Amino acid sequence: MTILAIESSCDDSSAAVIIDGKLHSNIVASQAIHQKWGGVVPELASRAHQQHIVPVVAEALATAKITKSDLNAIAFTRGPGLLGSLLVGTSFAKALALGLNIPLIDVHHMQAHVLAHFIDEPKPQFPFLCLTVSGGHTQIVFVRSPLDMEIIGETQDDAVGEAFDKTAKLLNLPYPGGPLIDKYAKEGNPLRFEFPMVEMQGLNYSFSGIKTAFLYFLQKETAKNPNFVEENIKDICASMQHTLIKILLQKLKKAAKQYKIKDIAIAGGVSANSGLRAELQRLGEELGWNVYIPQFQYCTDNAGMIAMAAHFKAEKGEFCGQDVSPMPRMAW
């Protein structure tokens, strides 16, 4: 089974080829235009996808050393994501599948992030827990099998990625700010400043409160010293990152104990954060967990993970028809 996968949920245009469960190419074209605006502009993202999708697909096929006539199915991200961006990928996939007279496979973006762990060794054993963390999602997922997942905890307001982005914006760091916070945090004191940790019921999260607290913290300190941010940027980033990671892992630790699970994974764009990766490894050694952290190239949005998810769906014969349409708020 040879599958071409397309990812276009936000601001990365990507295409990948998977053959019998082995990834043969994974091409990603990022969109630098959004840096100018300090965040993703949906209309600009849609237009950039239209420009990138044909070259990206062509390169994915060439890298895999196949032609479109070798394809057995076309997979695409159906949702969740930006409607305009999803439309580009969905429309392209439908047209190509129709022209080649081969089936379509619709993929859930966040489920694909979880299944990115099966691209390379080592692979987690079922059942396992996966903390999916990105700009739009923060979830603890109980994974029974490739196609049987359950959200057992999630944010009730903002995602942790939004908290990182808002922190960066308040510090006047350029977009995307998350990697810069990570960079400064490596050289700062994570215990210098304290920020509040909101306790939610069960395994759920909340990050809106810490964003507001950080805003008030900056207003208070800069009123006393206008150069406060410039003089303390490393300690500020380290302290904020330390608090966010502590919030994330506190609930993950609780979930692992509650479900008696030792195989623990992370996925999504924020899983590229070096502080989170290091702290999860440390916690895993302390508690005897088997920790699974994806390669950096599979943390951010990419078609390789869409291809992996499509492979599992194809094995079960789960295809979709030409009447499919994108779902920006696609449920699990």
- pLDDT grade, residue 261 (50/70/90)? very high
Q: What string of DSSP letters covers 153-192?
A: EEBSS--HHHHHHHHHHHTTPPSS-HHHHHHHHTTS-TTS
- pLDDT grade, residue 94 (50/70/90)? very high
Q: What's residue 325's pLDDT?
A: 97
- pLDDT grade, residue 139 (50/70/90)? very high
CA 184 to chain centre: 22
pLDDT digits (tens, 9 = 90+) for 21-70: 999 999 999 777 767 777 778 888 899 899 999 999 999 999 999 999 99
Average pLDDT over residues 205-231: 95
| Residue entry with tokens 């982005």 | 165
Average pLDDT over residues 116-142: 95
Tokens representing residue 63 in the block: 């890298």
Annotated binding-site residues for Fe cation read 109, 113, 301
Whether 19 and 64 have beta carbons less than 8 Å apart is answered as: yes
Please indicate, yes or no, whether the overall pTM of this predicted structure exceeds 0.85.
yes
Q: What's residue 83's pLDDT?
A: 97
Q: What is the mean pLDDT of the chain?
A: 95
The kind and range of the H/E element at 267 are strand 263-267
Average pLDDT over residues 151-162: 94
Q: What's residue 309's pLDDT?
A: 98
Q: Is residue 177 scored above 90 in pLDDT?
A: no
Taking the chain, what is the end-to-end CA distance rounded to the nearest angstrom?
Answer: 25
Short-list 208, 82, 203, CA closest to 157: 208
Q: What's residue 61's pLDDT?
A: 98
Q: What's residue 30's pLDDT?
A: 78
Indicate the pairing of strand 128-133 with strand 138-145: antiparallel
pLDDT digits (tens, 9 = 90+) for 5-28: 999 998 889 999 999 999 999 999
Q: What's residue 198's pLDDT?
A: 85
Count CB atoms within 10 A of the CB of residue 216.
Answer: 9
Say how far apart CA 9 and CA 77 lie, in whole Å. Answer: 7
* CA atoms within 13 A of residue 254's CA, in its CB half-sphere: 16
Q: Name the more confident of 243 and 31.
A: 243
For 288, residues 6+ apart whose C-beta sits below 8 A from its C-beta are: 262
Average pLDDT over residues 84-102: 98
Annotated binding-site residues for substrate read 132-136, 165, 178, 182, 273
Average pLDDT over residues 299-303: 94
Q: Is residue 223 scored above 80 in pLDDT?
A: yes
Average pLDDT over residues 153-174: 93
Query: Residue 4 pairs with which residues in a beta bridge?
Result: 17, 74
| Residue entry with tokens 């499509």 | 310
Say how far apart CA 259 and CA 284 lie, in whole Å. Answer: 16
DSSP state of 124: P
Q: Which of these ranges, 37-41, 76-80, 270-274, has the smallest mean pLDDT? A: 37-41
Average pLDDT over residues 225-231: 96
Q: What's residue 38's pLDDT?
A: 72
Q: What's residue 219's pLDDT?
A: 96
Indicate the pairing of strand 12-19 with strand 22-30: antiparallel
Annotated binding-site residues read 109, 113, 132-136, 165, 178, 182, 273, 301
DSSP state of 204: -
Q: What are the φ and ψ backbone dihedral angles of 182, each rounded to 5 degrees?
A: -60, -45
Q: What's residue 56's pLDDT?
A: 97
Tokens representing residue 294 in the block: 């994806």
Indicate the pairing of strand 73-79 with strand 2-7: parallel
